[in-house]
Amino acid sequence: MSFDKKLKFTFGLWTVGNVGRDPFGEPTREKLDHVQICDLLGDVGAYGVNLHDNDLVPIDADTPTRDRIVKEFRKGMKDNGLVCPMATTNLFSDAVFKDGAFTSNNAKIRAYAIQKTMRAMDLGAELGAKIYVFWGGREGVESDATKNPVEAIKRFREAINFLCEYSISQRYGYKFAFEAKPNEPRGHMYFAVTGSYLALIPSLDHPEMCGVNPEVAHEHMAGLNFVHQVAAALEMKKLFHIDLNDQEFGRYDQDFRFGSANPKHAFFLVKLLEDYKYDGPRQFDAHAYRQSNYEDVKEFAKGCMRTYVLLREKAQRWNDDKEIQQLLRTINVEDQMVSKLTKKFSTGNAKKLLESPLDRVELAKAPLPYERLDQLTMEIIMGAR
Ligand code: GLT
Ligand code: MN
Ligand code: MN
Protein backbone atom coordinates (compact mmCIF):
# COMPACT_ATOMS: atom_id res chain seq x y z
CA MET A 1 0.00 0.00 0.00
CA SER A 2 1.28 3.48 -0.66
CA PHE A 3 -0.04 6.96 -0.11
CA ASP A 4 0.76 10.17 -1.96
CA LYS A 5 4.05 11.39 -0.44
CA LYS A 6 2.95 14.95 -1.06
CA LEU A 7 0.41 14.52 1.75
CA LYS A 8 3.30 13.93 4.19
CA PHE A 9 1.55 11.38 6.40
CA THR A 10 3.62 10.86 9.52
CA PHE A 11 3.31 8.95 12.79
CA GLY A 12 5.19 9.39 16.05
CA LEU A 13 7.15 6.44 17.42
CA TRP A 14 4.78 6.67 20.39
CA THR A 15 1.65 6.23 18.25
CA VAL A 16 1.92 2.93 16.40
CA GLY A 17 4.36 1.93 19.14
CA ASN A 18 1.70 2.43 21.82
CA VAL A 19 1.51 -0.75 23.91
CA GLY A 20 -2.05 -0.28 25.15
CA ARG A 21 -1.27 0.82 28.69
CA ASP A 22 -3.88 3.03 30.34
CA PRO A 23 -4.28 4.41 33.89
CA PHE A 24 -6.21 1.25 34.85
CA GLY A 25 -4.43 -1.46 32.92
CA GLU A 26 -1.11 -2.92 31.94
CA PRO A 27 0.14 -3.13 28.32
CA THR A 28 -1.78 -5.39 25.96
CA ARG A 29 0.90 -5.46 23.23
CA GLU A 30 4.60 -6.33 23.27
CA LYS A 31 6.90 -3.36 22.92
CA LEU A 32 8.32 -2.91 19.39
CA ASP A 33 11.81 -1.47 19.06
CA HIS A 34 12.59 1.57 16.90
CA VAL A 35 13.56 -0.50 13.85
CA GLN A 36 10.41 -2.64 14.05
CA ILE A 37 8.35 0.54 14.16
CA CYS A 38 10.11 1.83 11.03
CA ASP A 39 9.32 -1.48 9.33
CA LEU A 40 5.67 -1.22 10.34
CA LEU A 41 5.44 2.34 9.01
CA GLY A 42 7.18 1.27 5.81
CA ASP A 43 4.63 -1.53 5.40
CA VAL A 44 1.65 0.78 5.68
CA GLY A 45 3.10 3.36 3.29
CA ALA A 46 3.74 6.28 5.65
CA TYR A 47 5.94 9.21 4.66
CA GLY A 48 7.68 9.83 7.94
CA VAL A 49 8.28 9.11 11.59
CA ASN A 50 8.53 11.60 14.47
CA LEU A 51 9.85 11.16 17.95
CA HIS A 52 10.46 12.38 21.46
CA ASP A 53 14.09 12.07 22.51
CA ASN A 54 13.24 9.21 24.88
CA ASP A 55 11.02 7.32 22.41
CA LEU A 56 14.36 6.51 20.80
CA VAL A 57 17.13 6.99 23.34
CA PRO A 58 16.48 5.97 26.96
CA ILE A 59 16.84 8.89 29.38
CA ASP A 60 19.82 7.28 31.11
CA ALA A 61 21.67 6.01 28.00
CA ASP A 62 25.42 6.67 27.77
CA THR A 63 26.89 8.19 24.60
CA PRO A 64 27.97 4.94 22.86
CA THR A 65 24.49 3.46 23.44
CA ARG A 66 22.85 6.63 22.13
CA ASP A 67 25.03 6.64 19.03
CA ARG A 68 24.36 2.96 18.32
CA ILE A 69 20.59 3.42 18.62
CA VAL A 70 20.60 6.51 16.40
CA LYS A 71 22.59 4.63 13.77
CA GLU A 72 20.16 1.69 13.83
CA PHE A 73 17.21 4.04 13.61
CA ARG A 74 18.67 5.93 10.64
CA LYS A 75 19.12 2.64 8.86
CA GLY A 76 15.54 1.63 9.73
CA MET A 77 14.30 4.93 8.30
CA LYS A 78 16.37 4.57 5.16
CA ASP A 79 15.36 0.95 4.55
CA ASN A 80 11.73 2.00 4.71
CA GLY A 81 12.01 5.26 2.77
CA LEU A 82 11.00 7.31 5.82
CA VAL A 83 11.97 10.85 6.77
CA CYS A 84 11.87 12.48 10.20
CA PRO A 85 10.27 15.90 9.78
CA MET A 86 9.55 16.60 13.45
CA ALA A 87 11.19 16.02 16.80
CA THR A 88 10.22 16.90 20.34
CA THR A 89 11.27 16.47 23.96
CA ASN A 90 9.75 14.26 26.58
CA LEU A 91 9.27 16.78 29.39
CA PHE A 92 6.50 14.86 31.10
CA SER A 93 7.31 11.20 31.90
CA ASP A 94 10.16 11.43 34.37
CA ALA A 95 9.47 12.18 38.04
CA VAL A 96 11.65 15.29 37.84
CA PHE A 97 8.90 16.91 35.74
CA LYS A 98 6.06 16.05 38.10
CA ASP A 99 5.35 19.75 38.65
CA GLY A 100 6.32 21.04 35.24
CA ALA A 101 9.41 21.58 33.13
CA PHE A 102 9.81 25.13 31.80
CA THR A 103 7.26 26.34 34.38
CA SER A 104 8.54 24.36 37.36
CA ASN A 105 8.85 26.24 40.64
CA ASN A 106 12.44 25.03 40.86
CA ALA A 107 15.03 26.98 38.85
CA LYS A 108 17.28 23.91 38.55
CA ILE A 109 14.44 21.83 37.11
CA ARG A 110 13.70 24.62 34.62
CA ALA A 111 17.37 24.64 33.66
CA TYR A 112 17.40 20.85 33.33
CA ALA A 113 14.33 21.02 31.05
CA ILE A 114 16.10 23.52 28.81
CA GLN A 115 19.29 21.43 28.82
CA LYS A 116 17.33 18.27 27.96
CA THR A 117 15.58 20.12 25.12
CA MET A 118 18.91 21.37 23.70
CA ARG A 119 20.17 17.77 23.57
CA ALA A 120 16.93 16.60 22.02
CA MET A 121 17.19 19.38 19.43
CA ASP A 122 20.68 18.10 18.58
CA LEU A 123 19.19 14.62 18.11
CA GLY A 124 16.33 15.89 15.94
CA ALA A 125 18.72 17.90 13.78
CA GLU A 126 20.87 14.80 13.29
CA LEU A 127 17.79 12.99 11.98
CA GLY A 128 16.85 15.82 9.63
CA ALA A 129 13.94 17.32 11.57
CA LYS A 130 13.06 20.94 10.79
CA ILE A 131 9.99 21.23 12.99
CA TYR A 132 10.31 21.16 16.75
CA VAL A 133 7.15 20.56 18.78
CA PHE A 134 6.54 21.78 22.31
CA TRP A 135 3.76 20.05 24.18
CA GLY A 136 3.80 21.18 27.80
CA GLY A 137 2.43 17.97 29.25
CA ARG A 138 3.19 18.89 32.85
CA GLU A 139 3.02 22.68 32.53
CA GLY A 140 0.09 23.27 34.83
CA VAL A 141 -1.36 22.70 38.27
CA GLU A 142 -3.93 20.80 40.23
CA SER A 143 -4.33 23.75 42.57
CA ASP A 144 -3.55 27.39 41.84
CA ALA A 145 -2.19 27.61 45.39
CA THR A 146 0.89 25.82 44.09
CA LYS A 147 2.15 28.02 41.27
CA ASN A 148 1.81 31.61 40.15
CA PRO A 149 0.17 31.49 36.70
CA VAL A 150 1.65 34.83 35.62
CA GLU A 151 5.15 33.65 36.57
CA ALA A 152 4.48 30.42 34.69
CA ILE A 153 3.86 32.33 31.46
CA LYS A 154 7.03 34.38 32.00
CA ARG A 155 9.08 31.24 32.67
CA PHE A 156 7.73 29.53 29.58
CA ARG A 157 8.53 32.57 27.42
CA GLU A 158 12.06 32.76 28.83
CA ALA A 159 12.71 29.09 28.00
CA ILE A 160 11.43 29.46 24.44
CA ASN A 161 13.45 32.61 23.84
CA PHE A 162 16.55 30.77 25.04
CA LEU A 163 15.87 27.77 22.80
CA CYS A 164 15.15 29.90 19.73
CA GLU A 165 18.61 31.42 20.17
CA TYR A 166 20.08 27.95 20.60
CA SER A 167 18.54 26.80 17.31
CA ILE A 168 19.84 29.91 15.56
CA SER A 169 23.34 29.57 17.05
CA GLN A 170 23.52 25.91 15.93
CA ARG A 171 22.04 26.75 12.50
CA TYR A 172 19.40 24.05 12.93
CA GLY A 173 16.77 26.01 11.04
CA TYR A 174 13.99 24.76 13.31
CA LYS A 175 10.47 26.09 13.31
CA PHE A 176 8.89 25.73 16.74
CA ALA A 177 5.30 24.47 16.93
CA PHE A 178 3.40 24.78 20.23
CA GLU A 179 0.73 22.23 21.08
CA ALA A 180 -2.08 23.18 23.45
CA LYS A 181 -4.17 20.94 25.68
CA PRO A 182 -6.64 21.98 28.36
CA ASN A 183 -6.05 19.26 30.95
CA GLU A 184 -4.70 15.72 31.35
CA PRO A 185 -2.24 14.80 32.70
CA ARG A 186 -2.48 17.96 34.86
CA GLY A 187 -5.74 19.06 36.40
CA HIS A 188 -5.35 22.38 34.58
CA MET A 189 -2.76 23.08 31.93
CA TYR A 190 -1.39 26.47 30.94
CA PHE A 191 -1.90 27.50 27.31
CA ALA A 192 -5.13 25.51 27.27
CA VAL A 193 -6.09 26.09 23.64
CA THR A 194 -4.31 26.84 20.37
CA GLY A 195 -5.45 30.46 20.61
CA SER A 196 -3.44 30.84 23.84
CA TYR A 197 -0.24 30.15 21.91
CA LEU A 198 -1.28 32.36 19.01
CA ALA A 199 -1.52 35.14 21.59
CA LEU A 200 1.85 34.30 23.16
CA ILE A 201 3.82 34.17 19.91
CA PRO A 202 3.93 37.92 19.15
CA SER A 203 5.43 38.45 22.63
CA LEU A 204 8.43 36.19 21.91
CA ASP A 205 11.87 37.37 20.77
CA HIS A 206 11.58 35.38 17.51
CA PRO A 207 7.90 35.26 16.58
CA GLU A 208 8.80 34.40 12.98
CA MET A 209 10.24 31.06 14.16
CA CYS A 210 7.18 30.09 16.16
CA GLY A 211 3.79 28.65 15.25
CA VAL A 212 1.38 26.01 16.47
CA ASN A 213 0.72 22.28 16.33
CA PRO A 214 -3.01 21.94 17.05
CA GLU A 215 -4.43 18.51 17.88
CA VAL A 216 -8.04 17.54 17.13
CA ALA A 217 -8.57 15.71 20.42
CA HIS A 218 -7.20 18.49 22.56
CA GLU A 219 -9.69 21.09 21.39
CA HIS A 220 -12.58 18.61 21.32
CA MET A 221 -11.85 17.70 24.95
CA ALA A 222 -12.62 21.34 25.74
CA GLY A 223 -15.80 21.24 23.64
CA LEU A 224 -14.32 23.60 21.04
CA ASN A 225 -14.63 23.66 17.28
CA PHE A 226 -11.22 22.44 16.11
CA VAL A 227 -11.70 23.65 12.55
CA HIS A 228 -11.99 27.23 13.82
CA GLN A 229 -8.77 26.92 15.83
CA VAL A 230 -6.92 25.63 12.79
CA ALA A 231 -8.46 28.35 10.62
CA ALA A 232 -7.12 31.01 12.99
CA ALA A 233 -3.64 29.48 12.82
CA LEU A 234 -3.78 29.21 9.03
CA GLU A 235 -4.97 32.76 8.57
CA MET A 236 -2.10 33.99 10.75
CA LYS A 237 0.37 31.79 8.83
CA LYS A 238 1.16 29.93 12.01
CA LEU A 239 0.06 26.40 11.16
CA PHE A 240 3.48 24.75 11.24
CA HIS A 241 2.33 21.19 12.02
CA ILE A 242 -0.90 19.36 12.84
CA ASP A 243 -1.86 16.37 15.02
CA LEU A 244 -4.76 14.48 13.48
CA ASN A 245 -6.80 12.03 15.52
CA ASP A 246 -10.32 11.88 16.90
CA GLN A 247 -12.12 12.19 20.17
CA GLU A 248 -15.62 12.10 21.61
CA PHE A 249 -16.46 15.53 23.01
CA GLY A 250 -15.99 15.98 26.72
CA ARG A 251 -14.15 12.71 27.34
CA TYR A 252 -10.61 11.93 28.47
CA ASP A 253 -7.81 12.13 25.86
CA GLN A 254 -8.82 9.27 23.57
CA ASP A 255 -6.48 9.70 20.58
CA PHE A 256 -8.75 7.67 18.31
CA ARG A 257 -8.12 6.85 14.65
CA PHE A 258 -8.55 9.96 12.49
CA GLY A 259 -12.19 10.62 11.59
CA SER A 260 -13.54 7.69 13.59
CA ALA A 261 -15.63 9.65 16.10
CA ASN A 262 -16.71 12.84 14.31
CA PRO A 263 -16.51 12.34 10.55
CA LYS A 264 -18.36 15.57 9.80
CA HIS A 265 -15.80 17.64 11.71
CA ALA A 266 -13.03 15.65 10.07
CA PHE A 267 -14.50 16.46 6.65
CA PHE A 268 -14.47 20.20 7.31
CA LEU A 269 -10.95 19.95 8.70
CA VAL A 270 -9.60 18.16 5.64
CA LYS A 271 -11.47 20.58 3.38
CA LEU A 272 -9.89 23.52 5.21
CA LEU A 273 -6.37 22.08 4.99
CA GLU A 274 -6.79 21.27 1.31
CA ASP A 275 -8.56 24.49 0.31
CA TYR A 276 -5.78 26.52 1.92
CA LYS A 277 -3.05 24.25 0.55
CA TYR A 278 -1.51 23.34 3.89
CA ASP A 279 1.76 21.67 2.94
CA GLY A 280 3.31 20.74 6.29
CA PRO A 281 3.34 17.22 7.69
CA ARG A 282 0.01 15.61 8.54
CA GLN A 283 0.86 13.71 11.68
CA PHE A 284 -1.51 11.12 13.08
CA ASP A 285 -1.10 11.49 16.82
CA ALA A 286 -3.38 8.61 17.64
CA HIS A 287 -3.17 5.02 18.74
CA ALA A 288 -5.00 1.80 18.06
CA TYR A 289 -7.60 0.41 20.43
CA ARG A 290 -6.19 -1.45 23.40
CA GLN A 291 -7.73 -4.64 22.01
CA SER A 292 -5.71 -4.57 18.78
CA ASN A 293 -2.71 -6.75 17.93
CA TYR A 294 -0.03 -5.39 15.59
CA GLU A 295 -1.84 -6.60 12.47
CA ASP A 296 -4.75 -4.50 13.60
CA VAL A 297 -2.41 -1.62 14.51
CA LYS A 298 -1.48 -1.57 10.82
CA GLU A 299 -5.17 -1.40 9.94
CA PHE A 300 -5.43 1.51 12.35
CA ALA A 301 -2.54 3.35 10.67
CA LYS A 302 -3.82 2.68 7.15
CA GLY A 303 -7.29 3.72 8.32
CA CYS A 304 -6.02 7.15 9.45
CA MET A 305 -4.43 7.80 6.06
CA ARG A 306 -7.23 6.28 4.00
CA THR A 307 -9.87 8.35 5.80
CA TYR A 308 -7.87 11.50 5.09
CA VAL A 309 -7.61 10.62 1.41
CA LEU A 310 -11.32 9.79 1.17
CA LEU A 311 -12.32 13.00 2.87
CA ARG A 312 -10.01 14.89 0.54
CA GLU A 313 -11.84 13.41 -2.43
CA LYS A 314 -15.14 14.37 -0.85
CA ALA A 315 -13.93 17.93 -0.29
CA GLN A 316 -13.07 18.11 -3.98
CA ARG A 317 -16.53 16.75 -4.82
CA TRP A 318 -18.08 19.44 -2.61
CA ASN A 319 -16.11 22.15 -4.39
CA ASP A 320 -17.12 20.76 -7.80
CA ASP A 321 -20.81 20.36 -6.97
CA LYS A 322 -22.86 22.72 -9.15
CA GLU A 323 -25.79 23.02 -6.78
CA ILE A 324 -23.50 23.72 -3.83
CA GLN A 325 -21.66 26.37 -5.80
CA GLN A 326 -24.98 27.95 -6.78
CA LEU A 327 -26.02 28.03 -3.12
CA LEU A 328 -22.70 29.63 -2.16
CA ARG A 329 -23.35 32.39 -4.70
CA THR A 330 -26.79 32.95 -3.19
CA ILE A 331 -25.63 33.24 0.38
CA ASN A 332 -22.54 35.37 -0.23
CA VAL A 333 -23.98 38.74 -1.17
CA GLU A 334 -21.37 41.07 -2.59
CA ASP A 335 -21.67 44.83 -3.03
CA GLN A 336 -18.69 46.73 -4.39
CA MET A 337 -19.96 50.13 -3.29
CA VAL A 338 -20.27 49.39 0.42
CA SER A 339 -17.25 47.08 0.48
CA LYS A 340 -15.13 49.97 -0.76
CA LEU A 341 -16.33 52.07 2.15
CA THR A 342 -15.73 49.47 4.87
CA LYS A 343 -12.42 48.17 3.55
CA LYS A 344 -10.39 50.87 5.26
CA PHE A 345 -11.27 53.67 7.61
CA SER A 346 -11.08 57.27 6.47
CA THR A 347 -13.20 60.16 7.66
CA GLY A 348 -14.64 60.36 4.14
CA ASN A 349 -15.57 56.68 4.11
CA ALA A 350 -17.03 56.94 7.60
CA LYS A 351 -19.18 59.89 6.53
CA LYS A 352 -20.41 58.07 3.41
CA LEU A 353 -21.12 54.93 5.40
CA LEU A 354 -23.20 56.88 7.91
CA GLU A 355 -25.20 58.29 4.99
CA SER A 356 -25.68 54.93 3.22
CA PRO A 357 -29.27 53.71 3.02
CA LEU A 358 -28.97 50.23 4.59
CA ASP A 359 -32.49 48.94 5.16
CA ARG A 360 -32.32 46.32 7.89
CA VAL A 361 -35.82 44.98 7.21
CA GLU A 362 -35.04 44.41 3.53
CA LEU A 363 -31.61 42.95 4.35
CA ALA A 364 -33.11 40.44 6.75
CA LYS A 365 -35.24 39.04 3.88
CA ALA A 366 -32.25 37.67 1.92
CA PRO A 367 -32.64 33.88 1.68
CA LEU A 368 -30.19 31.63 3.54
CA PRO A 369 -30.96 28.05 2.44
CA TYR A 370 -28.56 26.55 4.96
CA GLU A 371 -30.64 23.42 5.55
CA ARG A 372 -30.29 22.54 1.87
CA LEU A 373 -26.58 23.31 1.88
CA ASP A 374 -25.88 21.25 4.98
CA GLN A 375 -27.99 18.33 3.70
CA LEU A 376 -26.05 18.34 0.42
CA THR A 377 -22.85 18.32 2.47
CA MET A 378 -24.10 15.34 4.48
CA GLU A 379 -25.04 13.53 1.26
CA ILE A 380 -21.51 14.01 -0.03
CA ILE A 381 -20.04 12.74 3.25
CA MET A 382 -22.38 9.73 3.23
CA GLY A 383 -21.52 8.90 -0.36
CA ALA A 384 -24.99 9.58 -1.78
CA ARG A 385 -23.79 12.44 -3.98
C1 GLT B 1 1.74 12.82 23.92
C2 GLT B 1 0.63 13.81 23.75
C3 GLT B 1 0.58 14.33 22.38
C4 GLT B 1 1.76 15.16 22.01
C5 GLT B 1 3.00 14.40 21.97
C6 GLT B 1 4.15 15.35 21.76
S7 GLT B 1 3.21 13.33 23.27
O8 GLT B 1 1.40 11.61 23.34
O9 GLT B 1 -0.60 13.20 24.11
O10 GLT B 1 -0.59 15.03 22.12
O11 GLT B 1 1.57 15.60 20.69
O12 GLT B 1 4.84 15.64 22.92
MN1 MN C 1 -0.41 15.61 19.97
MN1 MN D 1 -4.12 13.52 22.44
Q: In the chain, what is the greatest distance between 2 CA atoms, to the nearest angstrom?
A: 78
Tens digits of residue pLDDT in 36-53? 999 999 999 999 999 999
The CATH number fitting domain 5-320, selected from 3.40.50.2000, 3.40.1370.10, 3.10.20.30, 3.20.20.150: 3.20.20.150
pTM of the predicted structure, to 2 decimals: 0.97
Give distance in angstroms: CA of 79 to centre of ligand 1.
Answer: 26
When computed from its CA atoms, the radius of gyration of the chain, rounded to whole angstroms, is 23
Give distance in angstroms: CA of 271 to centre of ligand 1.
Answer: 24
Judged by its nearest atom, the ligand closest to the C-alpha of residue 247 is 3
Query: Catalytic one among 4, 22, 39, 52?
Result: 52
Query: Catalytic one among 34, 53, 55, 255?
Result: 55
* pLDDT > 70 fraction of the chain, expressed in percent and rounded: 100
User: Would residue 321 show up in a list of annotated catalytic residues for this protein?
Assistant: no
User: Residue 348: CA atoms inside 13 Å, Cβ hemisphere, count?
Assistant: 2
List, chain by chain if needed, residues with CB within 6 Å of any ligand 1 atom.
Answer: 14, 52, 88, 133, 135, 179, 215, 243, 285
Query: What pLDDT is stored for residue 4 in this prediction?
Result: 96
Burial track 334-353 (b if 16+ CB lie within 10 A, e otherwise): eeeeeeebeeeeeeeeeeee
Judged by its nearest atom, the ligand closest to the C-alpha of residue 252 is 3
Task: Give how far Cα 173 sits from Cα of 4, 125, 176, 250, 321, Å.
Answer: 26, 9, 10, 38, 42
Residue list, CB under 5 A from ion ligand 2: 215, 243, 285
In what order do the strands lie in the sheet containing 242-244? 210-212, 175-179, 131-135, 86-88, 48-52, 9-12, 282-284, 242-244
Query: What pLDDT is stored for residue 2 in this prediction?
Result: 81
DSSP state, residue 99: T
Give distance in angstroms: CA of 241 to centre of ligand 1.
Answer: 13
Query: What pLDDT is stored for residue 68 in this prediction?
Result: 98
Residue ranges of the chain assigned to CATH 3.20.20.150: 5-320
User: Would residue 55 show up in a list of annotated catalytic residues for this protein?
Assistant: yes
Tens digits of residue pLDDT in 344-360? 999 999 999 999 999 99
The CA distance from 109 to 93, in Å, is 14
Contact 223, 250 (CB under 8 A): yes
Contact 45, 318 (CB under 8 A): no
Tens digits of residue pLDDT in 212-258? 999 999 999 999 999 999 999 999 999 999 999 999 999 999 999 99
Mean pLDDT split into 10-residue runs, the chain, 385 residues: 92 98 97 98 98 98 98 98 98 98 98 98 98 98 98 98 98 98 98 98 98 98 97 98 97 97 98 98 98 98 98 98 98 95 98 97 97 98 98
| CA neighbor of 132 nearest in space, from 80, 183, 168 | 168
